[in-house]
Amino acid sequence: MFSVKPLKPTFKSYLPPLQTDLKKSPQLTIRKLEAKLLPGEIVVNEANFVRKCIGADSSQDDLWGKLICTNFKVSFITHNSLPQQNFKYVHRLLGEHDVPLACVEQVVTVNDVKGKQKVLGSNKKLKFNPTELILYCKDLRILRFRFDQAGPESAKKVCLAIAHYSQPADPQLLFGFEYVSSRYYGSSGERVNGVDPGGGQQTPLFDRPSDWDREIKRTGASEWRVCSVNEGYTISPSLPEYFVVPASLADQDLKQYACSFTGQRIPLWCWNHPNGSALVRMSSISDPQQQRKLDQRICSAITKSHPQRCDVFKSDLDKQLPNIQEVQAALVKLRQICVIEPFEESEEKWLSSLESSRWMDYVRAFLRHAVEVVYTLEGKHTSVILLEEEDRDLSCVVAGLVQLMLDPHCRSLLGFQALVQKEWVMAGHRFLDRCNHLKRNEERRKEESPLFLLFLDCVWQLLNQYPSAFEFTETYLTVLSDSMWIPIFSTFLFNCPKQRAEHSRDFARSRSIRLGQDQALRFPAVWDWSQQFSPKDQTLFNNPLYVGKGATCVQNGAVKTFKRTKQKSYSSTLRGLPPALRNGQLSDLDTLPRRNSLVLRLRPELGQAREPCETPCERFVRERFSRPADPQGMLLPQLLPSHLSLWRLYFLRWVPEARIPHGGPATAFHKLSLLVDEIHTLQSRLRHYNTSNSTPTPTGPPPPAPSLALSPPPNPPQRPHSLSRPQPEQQQQQQQQQQQQHHGRMYFRTSSSAPAGTPSTPDYLSSSFPFSPEGNLCRRGLLGTPLSKLLSGARIWLSTETLANEAL
């Protein structure tokens, strides 16, 4: 046979070789990308040459980098920057592209070639090589990563690691234990350099009797006392060691009564009104034989604590408010229409879908019930008992809202933090179960419920209606909600104080950590915001419109105290408004008349005949609305649908279609901050001028202004102890206060070197400020993709097992 000689190629190209875009090349400095790790944090798995999707339709803005899974977070490391991203607050615990594992709701892997997808769970197997990873987060973010250039095995391993470590089976596997043991305790098990995780803490934690004593004195509850009968958690596992009870009840009686209550939860004192009425929360009585006797004994003790010996009103929350499953279902529907469904498909039916979710109805229901309790305490001078089966869920929301409406101290920053610590953390709210931090199964999913988010939404409704009555901003409320998914702080990590003590003791024993005088590991509280943000970024929490108690103003060069001298009566905008409608309700017989309706002028007797009888609570609310609101007085919310709106900064901050450049509340916040800072500067100069004229002082720059112009001074200076040196904690607090004075109380400040005139609005300001939807909400295209059926409904949030086994 003849051998055939292969022919030589004759084609010749006259075009220059294609130049690769180095900026878009995934090989650029990938090997030098390393994650920033916290104490106790280790890298579990990683994958190189990963592409993070920024836009749903185009990939030209996507970022190349390394995807890393640690025992704390999912981290994406890149040298590129996001497009049109000129501002983002810097988090000291998380990077720009980091997501805590506790924030991951579901892990979905996709293979475009085989047309498969799977929702991964803990200890689940993955039989195909993923080409895409989608992370659905509890803070409503949707993150997408592509593995086009990554190795198939590394992509599979990092997906399985994220699914496994985001669902720990035991509380001691949460990252907070490793973080605390590594940062605050050395390798020998002793405290590192005396570092205190609660250093610089000003918010009372209510874990000692002195905090409760100060709260009793502040509210004037002279007929109540601090009880230590549960010291060591010997009576009730879900109650704190110290709490407040009527002075007429002896410790021996409390020990005897505890076994008859659900969870051995003795009735808890919440707050005292200046007129003597008290707000108390109580669990149900499990022993029917002792129910009547105990009920009379508890009511008699609360009656004796009232100066007028008034009767006690009981409010059954289980019968009048939605349960935790209904609240959870409402959030699932709301999340579906806000972030999962494409905006183009849901735009026409968006308002009707929002109404059908019933989230706003539940917000209105809790606010309305809190108004009724406020009327009982303020209008009827009667003590109120909040009844609930376990006294750990609904009563937390109602008790907190009632105190916000009645006590101006709770509307300050420190007062609000103390309120959450007292009524939520120490009262035994099940944060571990309600946030679903552990491995998800059907039983634990039934315990999941966003009650704390519902409470923050109710607080935002009050803040939106009375912006000058609150010291904090909606940015603070949003960041506080996001802190629930950072498993470092003890505030949102456990179901009760006893659970924290037991697990920390067991963990310390297993790691040979010497606790010393501490009975348990001391986890940091979320209230020390310096652990997450710089002093500059913390100024985003300060409300420029806040009018505190005894706020100062300057008149003719003299500093005076603002006081309301006369209250005028203002009529309602709508004439002949039905009384029930003023309280947010409209019966079937009521109609909404026009302002100049002839029916009311010609036949007023018909309108009066059809108008139902006004209840005392409705009359009380109507009289309060007829007077101007006092920021330092009682606040009642308007409950009409036109007055309650969706919390846009929280629910729509990641939606690109809802982002308004140079618009939204951020622009008003910018202008008001500049105005307040300018007033602040002028006040400082006036004080310096008056001081220099009255007393000869050395020349020099004017001293820094001590506080916000429209708010009271933060804390009066304390008299130093003689012959004593400042402690390390006091020095740290003084340094923080000096830094805050240096940076100012406002985030946006006027510059003395800037030219005269109105300052321009920064380019990065939008309705999502200080957050950005860039790279945080990337929906996958629905046309022609294997996820079209997966993302077509809310089932992705409801049943993992059904969705994983469903065939396309």
Binding-site entries: 323-324
Distance separating alpha carbons of residues 771 and 659, to the nearest angstrom: 10
Tell me which amino acid residue 98 is: D
Tell me which amino acid residue 371 is: V
Distance separating alpha carbons of residues 640 and 424, to the nearest angstrom: 28
Binding-site entries for substrate: 323-324
CB 629 within 8 A of CB 635: yes
Q: Outline where 626-711 has alpha helix (H).
A: 648-651, 665-694
Distance separating alpha carbons of residues 762 and 769, to the nearest angstrom: 11
Distance separating alpha carbons of residues 244 and 231, to the nearest angstrom: 13
Tokens of 644: 């309650």
Distance separating alpha carbons of residues 540 and 482, to the nearest angstrom: 15
Tell me which amino acid residue 778 is: C
What does the DSSP assignment read for 545-560? T---TT-EEEETTEEE
CB 175 within 8 A of CB 40: yes
Inter-residue long-range contacts of 600-603, CB under 8 Å, 24+ positions, other chains counted: 600/575, 600/576
User: Omega into 712 within 30° of 0, i.e. cis?
Assistant: no
Distance separating alpha carbons of residues 428 and 610, to the nearest angstrom: 48
If residue 21 lies in a helix (H) or strand (E), which one and from where to where?
A: none
Q: What is the DSSP letter of 667?
A: H
Distance separating alpha carbons of residues 673 and 464, to the nearest angstrom: 17
Tell me which amino acid residue 448 is: E
Category of 277 on φ-ψ map: left (φ > 0), alpha (ψ -120 to 50) or beta: beta
User: What are the residues facing 77 on neighbouring strands?
Assistant: 66
List Cα–Cα distances, 320 to 372, 387, 388, 398, 647, in angstroms: 12, 11, 11, 12, 24
Distance separating alpha carbons of residues 41 and 18, to the nearest angstrom: 43
Category of 753 on φ-ψ map: left (φ > 0), alpha (ψ -120 to 50) or beta: alpha
CB 115 within 8 A of CB 149: no
CA angle 604, 609, 614 (to 5 degrees): 110
From edge to edge, which strands make up the β-sheet containing 268-272? 268-272, 278-283, 383-388, 312-316
Residue with tokens 């002195």: 210
Category of 609 on φ-ψ map: left (φ > 0), alpha (ψ -120 to 50) or beta: alpha
If residue 492 lies in a helix (H) or strand (E), which one and from where to where?
A: none
